[in-house]
Structure 1
Amino acid sequence: MNQENVSQTKVLMLPFPLQGRINPMLQFAKRLVSKGLDVSLVTFCGNKPMALHDRSSVKLEPVFDDLGADNVPGKSSDGDYHKRFKAVVSLRLPQIMAKLGMSKSENQASCLVYDSLVPWALDIAKEEGVYGAEFFTMSCAVSTVFYNVHEGLLKLPIVEPCLSMAALPFLQPHDLPSFVYDIKAYPTFTRLLTDQFSSFNKADWVFFNTFTSLETEVVNWMSKQRPIKTIGPTIPSKYLDKRVEDDGDYGIHLFKPETDICFNWLNSKQTGSVVYVSFGSLVTLREDQMEELALGLKRSGRNFLWVVRETEQKKIPANFMEETSEKGLVVAWSPQLQH
């Protein structure tokens, strides 16, 4: 493809609106922009606007939800949140494509790169006459487990004491992702992660956020199921090859990170002396699990940085933060990378 055609190529990115899904896709978008492509990223953000906190030329296409601020991960139920996301985005996506002038012709190529958690987006891409590329955020090994579930090669619930899957070592049930090992805990996401392979053989391209030398056997095995492309690790260029200028941050934060508090505290500790604990932007623990985790941190005698979202902090045992103030720091959200 010559440079003129590259500059006319339009790419629209559709991540599932969780921090760990947005970050890798945004980094891939920055790489494409650095090659001269015209790239936009859809943000599903309730009623509050989002902004890129760097000088990236990735454009944002906000999709607002009239249900208000409570319709976010961790506040509404997982099932309701996903249904609302699908309903709103299915309506707005064709409108965004039309506004961007996306089409598939001799002079222009357009592609929708969609999160593997939203395989239904491929149908919209085909209806609008653009290419569709599925983006798998998780490693190829983890994705292979869900592929086996989708294809009926691994039956749920797990009853075997030892499991054998192609290209993977022998595994015990507790070695599997929690969405497979304990299907009662997060039934919605067990279904989503299994259904992500419903468009696997229909997409024009399939991207995996990994690199071949990291997991050679399983990447080669997956490539035999259908052609795939490894494009990872999708982290800021500062930590890799430094080819993208001023790329030291992911750029979008669903929660406001307590950056100064975290770094000032970390700088007062010796290198390698801090235990970092975070369950991300989605997982919710029961009160007894929070209590057990808090007790373990307290008894460890180690310095710790524990990320607990504001909606979850009421589950922290009474007096825990006061009793561990010399060793620990609890914050609502922390920066994902060190500057």
Structure 2
Amino acid sequence: MVTATTSPPHAIVIPYPAQGHVIPHLELAHALVDRGFTVTFVNSEFNHHRVLAAMADTTATTGLLGRIRLVAVPDGMEPGEDRNNLVRLTVLMAEHMAPRVEDLISRSHAETDEPITCMMTDYSLGTWTLDIARRTRIKSAAVWPASAAVLASLLSIPKLIQDNIIDSKDGSALMQGTFKLSPDMPIMHTAHLAWNCIGNHQGQDALFRNVFGCVRAVEKCDLLLCNSFLGAEEATFAQFPKVVPIGPLLTGERRGRAVGHFWRPEDDACVSWLDAQPARSVVYVAFGSFTMFDTRQFQELALGLELCGRPFLWVVRPDIVHGDVHDYPPGFLDRVGGAGGRGKLVAWSPQQQVLAHPAVACFVTHCGWNSTMEGVRNGVPFLAWPYFADQFVNQLYICDVWKVGLRAEADESGVITKEHIASRVEELMSCASMRDRVEAMKKVALESLKEGGSSHDNFDMFVRAMKE
């Protein structure tokens, strides 16, 4: 095995090719560089080009971030294919990315004076990345970029099968209802198991096989890391002691450095507008990189933001509406935009900077884990509006466990109405006890990252293990 005694520590970092995974893995790469590592950061070609396009031009021309080298490998999908089809993407990556990653590691050993000595792989790629680490005899850590509770549900798949809660073939629910992984952990719903709420049922069995394969694969790695902190999920970490919390990773806080976004942030437009707003007055609305709306729900959201009577900053991603047509309600843009309007619409935002701004009062969110952690560590209460995958469990934490947010609830037709949105926003803005709870969580999160804090000490332990 190549070790730090014969060469400087050199990590290869491989995220799953989705923005919510690339961002925390790139922050992990920066943190490793801070501790003396060289990093090779491997993206799919498609996402590599998106990250470069969102970076400063001077950095994008080189593909270098100090001691981080950005590398692209093909994911096996054709140009123009729908990369939101996560089932197909996951299957193709194992076939097309694996041999190139293994060749990259092998060539570093044969041809360079800084051979790759360790791997940080996204947990969701573990079926093939951890086999490569074993064959090339380098240390490895699997990184779970979401909540420990969702990771616990994956690690519990054998028991869920044994207890006849899920089907062994495709993971589908054999019982409709709720269950607990341990007496002290939150109640979970069978329909909200991550593999049961990604896309449609086509390819469900293949997706579940990959998920189940990752459970077996992580037994081969040296460490299993989680982007959470002890105070957020103490019961889960007690029940699953092999999961090591190192979060919340400070995603988005490295100003002037690439953080993994796929769209160029409109920094000046967002921040200068926020600077002109009163303290704790702005409703911030952002739904991540995957959430899609139909036209009716999109319009109800627009009208709800108008109806709430508060200034709002709304991130309207270019592809957020099915069909890519932003069909705003008649006259909406004229009423809320312009010099006298209360609304600011942008295609993307520097979210960490926005949530840290004193003008922001609440966060209407899809409950992605990065967004959840960013909201918590900035002390901002949530209107929780999940879309898919782990986001339903994250909503449960936000609303029922931590009690730092409210649910956005659909009516009998499945639509979250403008009246409901406005009412929930008003309730959030006026609830002092909820703000006190999220401020208390913020304090715990930040304490965990300081020297002597649990996440800080865990990260140091991880660094030592990878350097040995």
Instruction: Tell me the TM-score range normalised by the shorter chain.
Output: 0.7 to 0.9
Q: Determine whether 1:336 maps to 2:348.
A: no
Letter aligned with residue 95 of structure 2: A
Shift in Å at residue 5 of structure 1?
2.6
The answer to whether the 8 A contact 2:105-2:115 is kept is no
CA contact (8 A) 1:210 1:230 kept: yes
- Structure 1 CA distance for aligned equivalents of residues 327 and 110 of structure 2: 49
Aligned length: 321
Q: 1:143 aligns with which of 141, 151, 157?
A: 151
State the secondary structure of the residue aligned to 1:255. Answer: coil
Query: Shift of residue 118 of structure 1?
Result: 0.9
Q: CA deviation at 1:249?
A: 5.0
Cα distance 1:91–1:57, how it changes in 2: closer, same or farther (>3 A)? same
Counterpart residue identity of residue 68, structure 2: V
- Structure 2, unaligned runs of 5 or more: 60-64, 167-171, 355-468
Match of 2:137 in 1: 129
1:164 aligns with 2:165: no
The reply on whether 1:39 has 2:8 as its aligned counterpart is no
* Cα pair 2:303 2:329 within 8 Å, conserved: no
Deviation at 1:59, TM superposition (A): 1.8
Task: Find 1:205's aligned residue among 205, 213, 223.
Answer: 223
State the one-letter code of the partner of 1:83. Answer: V
Q: Assess if the C-alpha contact under 8 Å between 1:210 and 1:232 holds in 2.
A: yes
> Who is 1:301 aligned against?
309
RMSD of the TM alignment (CA)? 3.6
For residue 243 of structure 1, what is the aligned residue in structure 2?
Answer: none
- Please state how far the C-alpha of 1:12 moved relative to its aligned partner: 0.4
CA distance in 2, matches of 1:262, 1:219: 37
Using the alignment, how far apart are the partners of 1:38 and 1:134 within structure 2?
18
d(CA) in 1 for partners of 2:326, 2:261: 24
> What is the CA distance between 1:35 and its match in structure 2?
1.9
* Structure 1 position 70 matched with structure 2 position 70: no
Give the Å deviation of 1:206.
0.9
Report if the CA contact (8 A) 1:321-1:330 is conserved: no
Whether the aligned pair in 2 keeps the contact of 1:73 and 1:282 (CA below 8 Å) is: no
Pick the aligned partner of 2:248 from 233, 238, 246: 233
State the TM-score, normalized to the length of structure 2. Answer: 0.59
Which residue in 1 is equivalent to 2:374? none
- AA aligned opposite 1:336: Q
**What is the SS of the residue equivalent to 1:310?**
coil
Tell me which amino acid in the other structure corresponds to 2:23. Answer: N
Judge conservation of contact 1:136–1:207 (CA < 8 Å) in 2: yes
Q: Which sits farther off after the overlay, 313-322 or 35-44?
A: 313-322
Residue in structure 2 matching 1:256, options 264, 268, 278: 264
Structure 1 distance, partners of 2:199, 2:260, is 32
Q: Secondary structure at the match of 2:173?
A: coil
User: Which letter does structure 2 place at the counterpart of 1:31?
Assistant: A
Q: The residue matched to 2:313 in structure 1 has which SS?
A: strand
From the superposition, tell whether residues 11 and 267 of structure 1 become closer, same or farther in structure 2 (CA, over 3 Å). same
Cα distance in 1 for partners of 2:28, 2:95 equals: 26
Amino acid at match of 2:336: T
The reply on whether 1:61 has 2:61 as its aligned counterpart is no
Given the superposition, is the C-alpha separation of residues 41 and 78 from structure 1 closer, same or farther in structure 2, using an over 3 Å criterion? same
Distance in 2 of aligned mates of 1:277 and 1:204: 39
Change (3 A) 1:36 1:330: same
2:292 corresponds to which of 255, 261, 284:
284
For residues 100 and 108 of structure 1, the distance between their equivalents in structure 2, rounded to whole angstroms, comes to 5
232, 235, 248: which one pairs with 1:217?
235
Aligned to 1:96: 104
Amino acid at match of 2:150: V
Contact 1:150 1:195 in 2 (8 A): no
Question: What code does the residue aligned with 1:228 have?
Answer: V
Contact 2:76 2:97 in 1 (8 A): no
Separation (CA, whole Å) in 2 of partners of 1:184 and 1:161:
20
Contact 1:236 1:250 in 2 (8 A): no
Per-residue CA deviations over 1:171-228 (Å, capped at 9, x if unaligned) read 2649x857467566587797466654242323222111122233222112111xxx33
Q: If each structure's helix is expressed as a fraction of its own residues, which one has the higher value?
A: 2
Q: Is the 8 A contact 2:149 2:236 kept in 1?
A: yes
Matched with 1:321 is 333
Find the counterpart in structure 1 of residue 49 from structure 2.
48
Partner of 1:12: 12
Helix, strand or coil: the match of 2:5?
helix
1:116-174 CA-to-partner distances (Å, cap 9, x unmatched) read 11122112222333233210001212322343346425434385554322154452649
